[in-house]
Amino acid sequence: MLWLVLSVVLLSSGCFAQSDDEEAAQIWVDQYNQDVQGVYFDYVSADWTYNTNITDHNSQLANEKAAESAAFDNQKAIEANNWDWPNFQNESLKREFSKIADMGYAALSDEDFNNMTKLNSNMTTIYSTATVCNKPGDTNGTCYPLDPDLEEVMSSSRDWDELVWAWEGWRNESGRKMPDTYEQFAELLNKAAVINGYADNGEYWRSWYESADFRQICENLWLELKPLYQQLHAYVRSKLRDIYSGHTFPGTGHIPAHILGNMWAQSWLALEQEMRPYPNKTGLDVTDELIKQGYNNTGLFLLAEDFFVSLGMDPMVDNFWENSMIEKPTDGREVVCHASAWDFYNGIDFRIKQCTRVNTEWLITTHHEMGHIEYFMEYKHQPVQFRDGANPGFHEAIGDVIALSVSTPNHMESIGLLPEGADDPEVDMNFLMSEALKKIAFIPFGYLIDQWRWDLFGEEFDRNNYNGAWWDVRCRYQGISPPVTRSASGDFDAGAKYHVPANTPYIRYFVSYVLQYQFHKAMCDAANYVGPYHRCDVYKSNEAGDLLRAMMETGASRPWPEILEQMTGSRNMTAQPLIDYFQPLMDWLIEENADETLGWDETGCPVGSIVP
Ligand SMILES: *[C@@H]1O[C@H](CO)[C@@H](O)[C@H](O)[C@H]1NC(C)=O
Ligand SMILES: *[C@@H]1O[C@H](CO)[C@@H](O)[C@H](O)[C@H]1NC(C)=O
Ligand SMILES: *[C@@H]1O[C@H](CO)[C@@H](O)[C@H](O)[C@H]1NC(C)=O
Ligand SMILES: *[C@@H]1O[C@H](CO)[C@@H](O)[C@H](O)[C@H]1NC(C)=O
Ligand SMILES: *[C@@H]1O[C@H](CO)[C@@H](O)[C@H](O)[C@H]1NC(C)=O
Ligand SMILES: *[C@@H]1O[C@H](CO)[C@@H](O)[C@H](O)[C@H]1NC(C)=O
Ligand SMILES: *[C@@H]1O[C@H](CO)[C@@H](O)[C@H](O)[C@H]1NC(C)=O
Ligand SMILES: *[C@@H]1O[C@H](CO)[C@@H](O)[C@H](O)[C@H]1NC(C)=O
Ligand SMILES: *[C@@H]1O[C@H](CO)[C@@H](O)[C@H](O)[C@H]1NC(C)=O
Ligand SMILES: [Zn+2]
């Protein structure tokens, strides 16, 4: 995901006379909307070039364009404050002005801004070009990048030592090279936040959710979902103890972080086969079938597009197919492989950049990224400041909500990726387990990254404990532990996760995992679906499509609770639809876990695993 994020801040009005002439303000803002598109287009284009061809030269060009764009934002914020916009009668105009008046990082001096972008590209470059050598057993000196090699090891290897090599090696080569840079970087982010009237950058990021008690809202959602996670955790831990019976697990109940099938233990889907409730019934991993049927990367994109179009939404435009980067280049170029969707702000240029591979996870990721593109296309008629998600979590939820339908056994059967016979309660349970390994496993991870960053920005801990504090939340929320000793200050494992060096806020994913089940329920209801929601597939339902489109075309033009209410009937985020969706699996897990001790020691990591 990537799009320019701007938000609401009420700058104090200054002591000069301000105009309340809304007609003149309208004329000014129309001109602004014409001008800003070109400025953002230039910046996004340069950033695209850097992301698809990492060189010092391209990094420098992108940073120059970022500075030009920031200077423009800064100037327009000052001009906007020539109006007494907080007292405008027209709510929409007032909202647009409030967003233009929010300078964000453009509030920094030129020198600080340039420092900030340089520190940022230093970290993304390290992350995107890191490789790990000395694989156990290799004698030829090959070094392996994260994408695809290390990710492939993490998902398919069941060799403890090989997994430790990939897990530790990746952290050695990425995160560990960043903590001092990150410290300086965080200082500059905070500096901008303070200029804008926030206590720190964490408060600034949270302000995008336009809810005074946002932190508490998240905590409450987590507490609602924790019992589900604990059940899944206990079940998976017990299976993993069998699989790795020659290795000792911590007595504290934590699961070693490197055996969950993913570099960050954020999705456990790679363990689907081993975790299947009914191993002799069809599983939901369609990778082999995709390969057997000769799918290529384009084929995955066409499948995703077909679903959106079936709901009455727009197909991808020619520009999209011509300019997107849908596989890792083979011409030796370094690229940022991390998947993202791009809005170029000219209403015709939208792109995805990802290093696709043909497997189940990429099928879902492709839907996720295309959901961003559909959102961009639906709100392209809005003023630039409203071309955004109702809140950042909405943007992350679109593709995922489509994937909830696509993943159902019935849908997979209808597109020929699962054999007939999917209509079976045991297949259903296998399906719910595979969904839980993606979704429920992710919940604490989605929550903890910004717990840690918010606290870092709030100076709840300092540079000497960056990594100690990181492991506090990893052990506490996820119930996982490091497979090898970590240093509280020397390692920087947060930096081994893309969104930290790339400076992408993360709570949006947690929010989207809650919202997408609210959306799914609303769309299934609109399609007149009757039955358990985990079996609902809204393919070809114009009613479901209309509901989703009405939400998307509104962009960020109104506060999100209004937009949520229009779509779901509720102004609040609630975990209930998610809980209901997984209820049959929970009932099954509770029985299965009868002899297990649920949970783990939540006071910290196993003794000795974190050293100064
Ligand atoms: C990558 O960027 C460099 C400039 O830094 C340029 O010389 C080169 O041609 C670019 N490569 C591709 C494939 O565009
Ligand atoms: C309020 O402003 C918006 C956008 O600036 C404009 O489209 C709309 O017509 C205005 N509404 C009224 C009632 O003037
Ligand atoms: C900005 O960069 C300069 C030179 O690289 C450095 O000396 C200075 O400390 C940096 N400022 C901040 C606030 O990080
Ligand atoms: C990042 O910055 C560090 C410290 O200034 C420097 O040693 C390193 O070469 C830089 N890396 C990249 C990829 O720019
Ligand atoms: C290096 O050796 C490994 C096996 O040890 C092999 O899989 C790989 O293909 C070799 N790479 C090269 C470049 O020869
Ligand atoms: C990571 O770095 C540590 C400390 O230098 C070293 O002991 C360890 O072998 C490295 N691990 C890998 C997999 O490279
Ligand atoms: C699955 O099938 C195997 C042999 O085909 C059998 O031994 C096993 O008991 C079956 N497991 C279950 C859970 O039905
Ligand atoms: C990829 O698959 C599509 C059909 O899904 C086909 O039209 C296209 O030629 C294939 N591309 C390549 C490079 O094989
Ligand atoms: C909705 O959220 C608000 C603010 O967090 C809370 O006061 C209210 O009780 C919630 N309403 C319902 C129905 O949960
Ligand atoms: Zn995304």
Ligand 2 atom at minimal distance to the Cα of residue 90: 1
In angstroms, the CA 328 to CA 388 distance is 28
Task: Specify whether 369 is catalytic.
Answer: yes
Is the model's pLDDT at 3 over the cut of 60?
A: no
The answer, yes or no, to whether any atom of ligand 4 lies below 6 A from the CB of 178, is no
What share of the chain has pLDDT > 70, as a percent? 97
Quick one: angle between helices 507-526 and 443-457, nearest 10?
Answer: 140
Q: Which of 22, 168, 369, 378 is catalytic?
A: 369
Query: What pLDDT does residue 422 have?
Result: 79
What share of the chain has pLDDT > 90, as a percent? 95
Is the model's pLDDT at 414 over the cut of 90?
A: yes
Q: Which of 331, 232, 308 is nearest to 585 (CA)?
A: 232
Give the residue, by CA position, lying nearest to ligand 7 atom 11.
280
In angstroms, the CA 388 to CA 394 distance is 9
Q: 111 CA to middle of ligand 3, Å?
A: 8
The answer, yes or no, to whether any atom of ligand 1 lies below 6 A from the CB of 57, is yes
Q: What is the mean pLDDT of the chain?
A: 96
Query: What pLDDT does residue 7 have?
Result: 30
Residue 506 assigned to a binding site: no
Name 427's bridge partners. none
Cβ(566)–Cβ(551) under 8 Å? Answer: yes
**pLDDT tens-place string over residues 472-505:** 999 999 999 999 999 999 999 999 999 999 999 9
Strands (E), 255-369: 255-256, 340-343, 350-353
Query: What pLDDT does residue 14 have?
Result: 42
**Ligand with minimal distance to 27 CA:** 2
Q: 118 CA to middle of ligand 4, Å?
A: 10
Cβ(93)–Cβ(85) under 8 Å? Answer: yes
Is the model's pLDDT at 175 over the cut of 90?
A: yes
Residue 463 assigned to a binding site: no
**pLDDT tens-place string over residues 561-580:** 999 999 999 999 999 999 99
Q: 425 CA to middle of ligand 7, Å?
A: 17
If you ran DSSP here, which 8-state letter would residue 83 be given?
B
**Ligand with minimal distance to 185 CA:** 3
**pLDDT tens-place string over residues 208-252:** 999 999 999 999 999 999 999 999 999 999 999 999 999 999 999
In angstroms, the CA 249 to CA 243 distance is 12
**pLDDT tens-place string over residues 195-217:** 999 999 999 999 999 999 999 99
* Vertex 532 angle, CA 529 and 538, to 5°: 40
Give the residue, by CA position, lying nearest to ligand 2 atom 14.
90
Burial class (CB in 10 A: 0-12, 13-18, 19+), 369: buried
Is the model's pLDDT at 426 over the cut of 50?
A: yes
Query: What pLDDT does residue 18 have?
Result: 79
Ligand 4 atom at minimal distance to the Cα of residue 125: 13
In angstroms, the CA 5 to CA 77 distance is 15
The answer, yes or no, to whether any atom of ligand 2 lies below 6 A from the CB of 579, is no
Ligand 3 atom at minimal distance to the Cα of residue 191: 13
Task: Specify whether 499 is catalytic.
Answer: yes
3-state SS assignment for residue 594: coil
Query: What pLDDT does residue 357 have?
Result: 97
- 173-187, 248-262, 276-290, 454-468: least confidently modelled range: 276-290
Q: 118 CA to middle of ligand 6, Å?
A: 28
Q: 470 CA to middle of ligand 4, Å?
A: 23
For range 530-537, the mean pLDDT: 98
Query: What pLDDT does residue 17 have?
Result: 66
Give the residue, by CA position, lying nearest to ligand 1 atom 11.
53
| Helices then strands, each counted (H, E), the chain | 24, 8
Is the model's pLDDT at 537 over the cut of 80?
A: yes
Residue 90 C-beta-side C-alpha neighbours within 13 Å:
12
For the whole model, what pTM was predicted? 0.96
Query: What pLDDT does residue 355 have?
Result: 97
- 10-24, 81-95, 123-137, 216-230: least confidently modelled range: 10-24
Is the model's pLDDT at 15 over the cut of 50?
A: no
Give the residue, by CA position, lying nearest to ligand 7 atom 7.
280
Give the residue, by CA position, lying nearest to ligand 8 atom 4.
299
For range 80-99, the mean pLDDT: 97
Is the model's pLDDT at 8 over the cut of 70?
A: no
